[in-house]
Structure 1
Amino acid sequence: MATTDNSTYIQPIISTDGTLGHLTPEQTETLKQFWACLYDIFDGKTAFDQTIPTSFKGQAQEEPNALVQKSSWFGRGKPASESGPVVPRFTGEDLKKAYWKLTMMDHPDVVILKFIRARKWVLDDALKMFLNTLKWRIVERLDELIELSDVELDAKYPKFLEQLHKGKGYLHGADPLGRPLTFINPRFHHKADQPSETTYRFTLYNMEHGRTLLPQGTENVIVIFDLSNFGLDNMDWGFVRLFVQCFESYYPETLGVCVVHRAPFVFWGLWKLIQPLLDPVVASKFVFTRNNAELHKIIPRDRLPINHFDGLDDWTYEYISAQENENDHMKDSAKKEELLRERHELEAKFDIATRAWIKESEGTSSDERDEIAKNIREQYARLSPYIHAASVYRRRGVAVNGQINWTYNIKDDN
């Protein structure tokens, strides 16, 4: 019979302050005010900053409220004197669509509360951060990373499949609190081996799929940088900047722990340059483990692979290629449109209930909104195969019908 020696594991205590179901009346009021401001923007009643957020690619930042041609929303437009009538780069309706795509299967409040907590309950700061994220997602076409197949992404971004085959980054398993484990293996990465845009897209691909693998009630992930055999030729400052920017600006309150495992001597000189780039809150999430015994205090052995980590799970990463007809659902236009209409109806119901809830004087939650959010999650599980291409996680049976099912092949370590 297999044994599971987890005697050294220390389960952390996760604060529930400011999370859904644990809000004070004052925090609930701030959430209401956020929604009220957001609806004013969605409805076109309030103007907002049209600046495109910067990215690690060095994308130029335009002046606030810049106006461009509608046909050129995702690029620089000609001056008004040359191009005729101009319109805002983003409209409230654009942001509303981006918001609901970002929400996916989550309770809408969960998404928003992450931004509010990240900005210490300062409403204006949280709103600015949230709007920047929506604009960034539109400009960077984040949705395509789960809507397109791996083969389609490879055609668009050269050597994308190569990143998947090498196992530079992937998710496998979860800690006892349900937080998915993301493994990053820099030893397989050499900056010049693929276009920087491919590295960029592959990183965001893992971020987006990580969100789809969060079980209900779990809001963040654990990242493990396995620095075994790491050398200076594996260093990529573009990736570092992107990683930092994502967790600080675009995926707030998503990083639970970042484990830097088996860092060699050469890494510590680089860390002196990396640490000042980090927001103090994000920096506090970093922990360093010199060996597997120390890692086992953070993640129990039965959740870690035998290979590299001296775990008990007899599992080795292997990319599973696309299966024939795996995306047939996406070709069923009639069913897809039916499910999209159903989704939009639920979104509209949630909006109506939220607008009514905002006007209530009591600082309490709304059972009606929670019930609609529950229906949104259930409906999303049915909709997803029609709008999202199959991933390696669906092929492995991890993400099926809205359920997250990690399996572990536990071996006796005696």
Structure 2
Amino acid sequence: MSSPAASTAPTSTYVQPVISTDGRLGHLTPEQTIKLQQFWVKLFDIFDGKVQFDQTAPSSFKGQAREEENADGTPAAPVQKAGWFGRRTASESGPVAPRFTGPQLQKTFWKVAMMDHPDLLVLKFIRARKWVLEDAMKMFLNALKWRIVERLDELIELSDEELDVKYPKFIQQMKIGKGYLRGADPLGRPMSVVNTRLHHKSDQPAETIHRFTLYTMECGRMLLPPGAETVIVIFDLSNFGLDNMDWGFVRLFVQCFEAFYPETLGVCVVHRAPFVFWGLWKLIQPLLDPVVASKFVFTRNNAELHKVVPRERLPIIHYDGLDDWKYEYVPAVPGENDRMKDTVKKEELLAERHGLEISFDEATRAWIKNLDGKNSEQRDEIAVQLREQYTRMTPYVRAVNLYQRWGVAVNGEVNWTYNVKKE
């Protein structure tokens, strides 16, 4: 009589995608490196004020014109009405007053660079515009202006409680688990889960969900480990109904990944879409950029989802994964942001950071004097210093977020843990 079969691990159905390295940092051809050098030439011309550029603020993507401010906080001139995705229509109101300067955009550029190699940031825009530098520059400058208009700094600098006061029910979005980042695939791409069944447009002000979405986007950037440039978004449409549909959120999501965070969406998984969704999809799909649309994947059940994300990285609950984990919002701890009040140390670190930025600028200006398609090891070395310095500066310029309380993002390192259970 044979003995009982030994317990074996479940067979994995996950299929790891092959990510192209073409045009990515560390894999540039000499021709692509020359394009990158030429982009920096154009960028410095803007930063230095040598050439004119479109100084008007980007239009709102909320589907309507809105009151905006100049860069100095004064009321802006009337803006043109925006189209469905915020694209400006022909205007009869005359020219719009200038709003931005080259030095201001340069300052914003260094804020958005954070821990990344500056080349990694600009290459996303160059690739998004198929290496047509004029188009890439317009897109890049528009994204910098958009960050100023959207006041993205506050989403980094304000605590959960402060954001909740400014945007009612902000913390409530996190408490119910409407949207959050959890885990990464084997390629290191963070996964963002959106539970659409928990969203009802009338439950919170439109501005709150708008700000919470951008907050999650910025947190996602913090959770990108070295070597990973994209994220995975999982739209969980379980029990989705028409009352869960929010066109404002759809517009924001699409515009962000098309225009303001290009080359950042790795794959968008639409999970368990009910019959009612497909009528809406017929309206959404034609509005998507073909590149963004190509990244949508539809999974009808958990078994199909396991082919996109390994079971070991998915919770047991709801997704039939192997990770014994349940979402929980961890509130702020008293005093967790005390270092942000240490103005002396903060100014010292900001001065150190500025010195490194100047060093990178100088090395880049020297590098682009000869468009030879060769890499600059000096720039790469300074970029490493910038990342290390930003790690030390973070507690003084960024409020602690949920993912730091979870212990995922600590001292510049990203560490997801999975409590894998045997099936």
TM bracket, shorter-chain basis: over 0.9
**Residue 419 of structure 2: aligned partner:** 409
Q: Is the contact between residue 70 and residue 88 of structure 1 (CA under 8 Å) also seen in structure 2? A: no
Among 27, 34, 39, the alignment partner of 1:34 is 39
CA change 1:235–1:4 in 2 (3 A) is farther
Structure 2 letter corresponding to 1:36: V
Correspondence 1:105 to 2:110:
no
Q: Distance in 2 between matches of 1:9 and 1:244?
A: 27
Q: Distance in 2 between matches of 1:74 and 1:23?
A: 44
Give how far 1:163 is off. 0.6
Q: Distance in 1 between matches of 2:128 and 2:74?
A: 29
Correspondence 1:400 to 2:410:
yes
Q: Is the contact between residue 60 and residue 66 of structure 2 (CA under 8 Å) also seen in structure 1? A: no
Correspondence 1:19 to 2:24:
yes
The SS at the match of 2:115 is: coil
Correspondence 1:76 to 2:47:
no
Correspondence 1:159 to 2:173:
no
Q: Distance in 2 between matches of 1:400 and 1:303?
A: 20
TM-score by length of 2: 0.92
Q: Is the contact between residue 177 and residue 195 of structure 2 (CA under 8 Å) also seen in structure 1? A: yes
Among 369, 376, 400, the alignment partner of 2:386 is 376
Correspondence 1:43 to 2:48:
yes
Q: Is the contact between residue 4 and residue 301 of structure 1 (CA under 8 Å) also seen in structure 2? A: no
CA change 1:373–1:5 in 2 (3 A) is farther
Structure 2 letter corresponding to 1:35: W
Q: Distance in 2 between matches of 1:323 and 1:199?
A: 24
The SS at the match of 2:420 is: coil
Among 318, 322, 331, the alignment partner of 1:312 is 322
Tell me the matched-pair count: 402
Deviates more, 1:346-355 or 1:2-11: 2-11
For structure 1, the 5+ residue unaligned runs are 63-67, 79-85
**Residue 213 of structure 2: aligned partner:** 203
Matches within 5 A, 1:118-133: 118-133=128-143
**Residue 56 of structure 1: aligned partner:** 61
Q: Output one character per residue of 1:95-120: Cα deviation in whole Å (capped at 9) or x when no partner.
A: 00110111100000000000000000
CA change 1:2–1:107 in 2 (3 A) is farther
The SS at the match of 2:298 is: strand
**Residue 88 of structure 2: aligned partner:** none
**Residue 360 of structure 1: aligned partner:** 370
CA change 1:131–1:3 in 2 (3 A) is farther
CA change 1:74–1:410 in 2 (3 A) is farther
Q: Output one character per residue of 1:261-317: Cα deviation in whole Å (capped at 9) or x when no partner.
A: 000000000000010110000000000000010010110000001111100111111
Q: Distance in 1 between matches of 2:380 and 2:17?
A: 28
Q: Is the contact between residue 105 and residue 377 of structure 1 (CA under 8 Å) also seen in structure 2? A: yes
Q: Is the contact between residue 56 and residue 98 of structure 2 (CA under 8 Å) also seen in structure 1? A: no
The SS at the match of 1:297 is: helix
Give how far 1:6 is off. 5.4
For structure 2, the 5+ residue unaligned runs are 1-5, 80-95
The SS at the match of 1:349 is: helix
TM-score by length of 1: 0.94
**Residue 268 of structure 1: aligned partner:** 278
Runs of 4 or more consecutive aligned structure 1 residues displaced over 6 Å after TM superposition: none
CA change 1:199–1:158 in 2 (3 A) is same
Give how far 1:61 is off. 8.6
RMSD across aligned positions (CA): 2.0
Using the aligned pairs only, state the percent identity. 72
Correspondence 1:227 to 2:237:
yes
Q: Distance in 2 between matches of 1:211 and 1:324?
A: 25
Q: Output one character per residue of 1:45-76: Cα deviation in whole Å (capped at 9) or x when no partner.
A: 111102221233245399xxxxx977545633
Give how far 1:88 is off. 3.1
Q: Distance in 1 between matches of 2:65 and 2:248?
A: 16
Structure 2 letter corresponding to 1:90: F
Q: Distance in 1 between matches of 2:335 and 2:188?
A: 31
Give how far 1:324 is off. 1.1
Q: Distance in 2 between matches of 1:87 and 1:277?
A: 30
CA change 1:270–1:26 in 2 (3 A) is same
Q: Output one character per residue of 1:333-353: Cα deviation in whole Å (capped at 9) or x when no partner.
A: 111111111111000000000
The SS at the match of 2:50 is: coil
Q: Distance in 2 between matches of 1:61 and 1:52?
A: 12
Matches within 5 A, 1:323-338: 323-338=333-348
Q: Distance in 1 between matches of 2:164 and 2:317?
A: 29
**Residue 258 of structure 2: aligned partner:** 248
Q: Is the contact between residue 56 and residue 97 of structure 2 (CA under 8 Å) also seen in structure 1? A: no
**Residue 82 of structure 1: aligned partner:** none
Correspondence 1:218 to 2:228:
yes
**Residue 10 of structure 1: aligned partner:** 15
Correspondence 1:282 to 2:287:
no
Give how far 1:144 is off. 1.0
Q: Output one character per residue of 1:146-165: Cα deviation in whole Å (capped at 9) or x when no partner.
A: 11101000011111011111
CA change 1:69–1:237 in 2 (3 A) is closer
